[in-house]
Chain A
Amino acid sequence: MNWYTYTIPFLPLTGAAINGLIGKRLPRPLVGLIACAAMLAAAIFSTMTLFDLLRLPVEERSLYGELYNWMTSGELSVGFGFLVDQLSVVMMLVVSWVGFLIHVYSVGYMAHDNGFARYFSYLNLFAGLMLILVMAGNFPLAFAGWEGVGLCSYLLIGFWHHKKSAADAGKKAFIVNRIGDFGFLLGLALLFANVGSLDYRQVFAAAMVGEIDPQIALGVSLLLFVGAMGKSAQLPLYVWLPDAMEGPTPVSALIHAATMVTAGVYMVIRCRPLFELDPTALTVVLIVGTATAIFAATIGLAQRDIKRVLAYSTVSQLGYMFMACGLGAYIVALFHLMIHAFFKALLFLGSGSVIHAMHDEQDMFKMGGLKAKLKTTYWTFLWGSLAIAGIFPFAGFFSKDEILFKAFAGHHYIIWGIGAFTALLTSFYVFRVVFMTFHGKHRGPDFGKVHESPALMTVPLVVLAILSLVGGWVGISFLGEHNYFHQFLAPLLAGGHHAAGGEHHLKLEIVLAIFSVTLAFFGIWLARHLVLARRDRLELLTRKFGPAHKTLVGKYYVDEIYDAVLVRPLNRLSKIFWQVIDDGVIDGLVRFQGVWTQMAGRLLALFSSGQVRRYALYFLVGAVAVIGYFIKG
Chain B
Amino acid sequence: MTLYNLLIDSKTIAPQLLVVLAGILSLAAFVFPVRWRKVYLLIANLVPLAAAICISWERLSAIPGRAFSSLLILDGLANYLNLFFLVLLAGVVILSMTYLRRGEEMAGEYFSLLDFAALGLMVMTSGLNLMVIFVGLELTSLALYALCAYRRDDRLAIESSVKYFLLGSYASGFFLMGLALVFGACGTVSIDRMLGLLVDGRQTLLVAGLALLLIGLLFKLAAVPFHLWVPDVYQGAPTPVVAFMSVGPKVAVVAILLRLLPIASVASDRSLTVFWVLTVLTMTVANLVALRQDDVKRMLAYSSIAHAGYLMVGLTAYLGSYYGSDVSPEGMHITSLLYYLTVYLFMNLGAFGLIMLWEEGGLGRKLKDIKGLAVGQPLQAGLMAVILFSLAGIPPLAGFMGKFLVFGATVKTGLIYLAVIGVLNSVIAAFYYLRVLVMMYMHTDAPKKQALVSGWALAVVIVCVFLIFLVGILPGKLQVLVSYAGGLIG
Contact = CB atoms under 8 A, between A and B. Distances in A.
Interface of A: 68-72, 594, 597-598, 600-602, 604-605, 607-608, 610, 612, 614-616, 618-619, 621-623, 626-627, 629-631
Contacts of B476: 68-72
B214 interface: yes
B17 interface: no
A70 B477 CA distance: 10
15 contacts: A69-B476, A72-B476, A598-B291, A600-B288, A601-B288, A604-B285, A604-B288, A608-B228, A608-B231, A619-B167, A619-B171, A626-B274, A627-B215, A630-B211, A630-B270
Given A72-B476, A612-B163, A619 B219 contact: yes
Nearest to B271: A630
B268 A630 contact: yes
A615 B167 contact: yes
Nearest to A632: B270
A615 B230 CA distance: 11
A594 B214 CA distance: 34
B207 A631 contact: yes
Contact of B288 (A597, A619, A623, A629): A597
B167 A612 contact: yes
B225 A630 contact: no
B479 A619 contact: no
B292 A601 contact: yes
B174 A623 contact: yes
B474 interface: yes
B6 interface: no
Interface string B91-120: 000000000000000000000000000000
A605 B428 contact: no
Contacts of A68: 474, 476
A229 to B, nearest CB: 30
Given A601-B288, A615-B229, A616-B170, 17 more contacts: A69-B476, A70-B476, A597-B291, A598-B292, A601-B290, A605-B289, A608-B228, A608-B231, A612-B162, A614-B228, A618-B225, A622-B224, A623-B215, A627-B212, A629-B270, A629-B274, A631-B211
A81 to B, nearest CB: 14
Contact of A616 (B167, B271, B273, B291): B167
Interface string B257-286: 000000000001011011000100000010
Given A68-B474, A608-B231, A631 B204 contact: yes
B192 interface: no
B330 interface: no
B225 A619 contact: yes
A630 B208 contact: yes
Contact of A630 (B163, B274, B278): B274
Contacts of B162: 612
B150 interface: no
A607 B228 CA distance: 8
A480 B214 CA distance: 85
Contacts of A629: 270, 273-274
B228 A619 contact: yes
Contacts of A601: 288-292
Interface string B10-33: 000000000000000000000000
Contacts of B431: 594, 597
A633 to B, nearest CB: 10
Interface of B: 162-163, 166-167, 170-171, 174, 204, 207-208, 210-212, 214-215, 219, 224-226, 228-229, 231-232, 268, 270-271, 273-274, 278, 285, 288-292, 428, 431, 474-476, 479
A486 to B, nearest CB: 42
A627 B214 CA distance: 10
A449 to B, nearest CB: 48
Nearest to A596: B288
A608 B289 contact: yes
Given A597-B428, A627-B208, A627-B211, A605 B292 contact: yes
B167 A626 contact: no
B234 to A, nearest CB: 12
Contact of A619 (B170, B210, B289, B474): B170
Nearest to A628: B211
A626 B218 CA distance: 11
Given A619-B219, A622-B225, A604 B289 contact: yes
A616 B166 CA distance: 9
B166 A619 contact: no
Contacts of B208: 627, 630-631
B420 to A, nearest CB: 15
A608 B474 contact: no
A591 to B, nearest CB: 13
A610 B211 contact: no
Contacts of B211: 626-627, 630-631
Residue among B174, B226, B231 with most chain A CB within 10 A: B226
A619 B220 CA distance: 12
**Residue in B170, B219, B291, B474 with the greatest tally of chain A CB atoms within 10 Å:** B291
In this complex, the member of A594, A605, A621 whose beta carbon has the largest number of chain B beta carbons within 10 angstroms is A605
Contacts of B225: 618-619, 621-622
Contacts of A623: 174, 212, 215, 226
A612 B292 contact: no
A598 B428 CA distance: 10
A41 B356 CA distance: 48
B302 to A, nearest CB: 9
A12 B161 CA distance: 57
B226 A619 contact: yes
A630 B428 CA distance: 31
Given A68-B474, A71-B476, A598-B291, A630 B207 contact: yes
A137 B479 CA distance: 23
Contacts of B285: 604
Given A610-B232, A616-B167, A626 B215 contact: yes
B383 to A, nearest CB: 19
Contacts of B226: 619, 622-623
Contacts of A626: 211, 214-215, 274, 278
A598 B435 CA distance: 14
A597 B167 CA distance: 29
Contacts of B268: 630
Contacts of B271: 630
Nearest to A610: B232
A602 B292 contact: yes
Contacts of B215: 622-623, 626-627
A134 to B, nearest CB: 24
A612 B166 contact: yes
B261 to A, nearest CB: 14
A612 B158 CA distance: 14
Nearest to B286: A604
A626 B170 CA distance: 16
Contacts of A70: 476
Contacts of A594: 431
Nearest 9 CB-CB pairings of A with B = A622-B225, A601-B291, A601-B288, A615-B228, A630-B211, A601-B292, A627-B211, A605-B292, A600-B288
A68 B207 CA distance: 49
A623 B211 CA distance: 8
A608 B204 contact: no
A630 B163 CA distance: 29
Nearest to A69: B476
Nearest to B479: A72
A622 B479 CA distance: 36
Contacts of A614: 228
Contacts of A621: 225
B185 to A, nearest CB: 12
A618 B171 CA distance: 12
A633 B77 CA distance: 36
Contacts of A71: 475-476
Nearest to B264: A630
A607 B225 CA distance: 10
Contacts of B228: 607-608, 614-615, 618-619
A618 B223 CA distance: 12
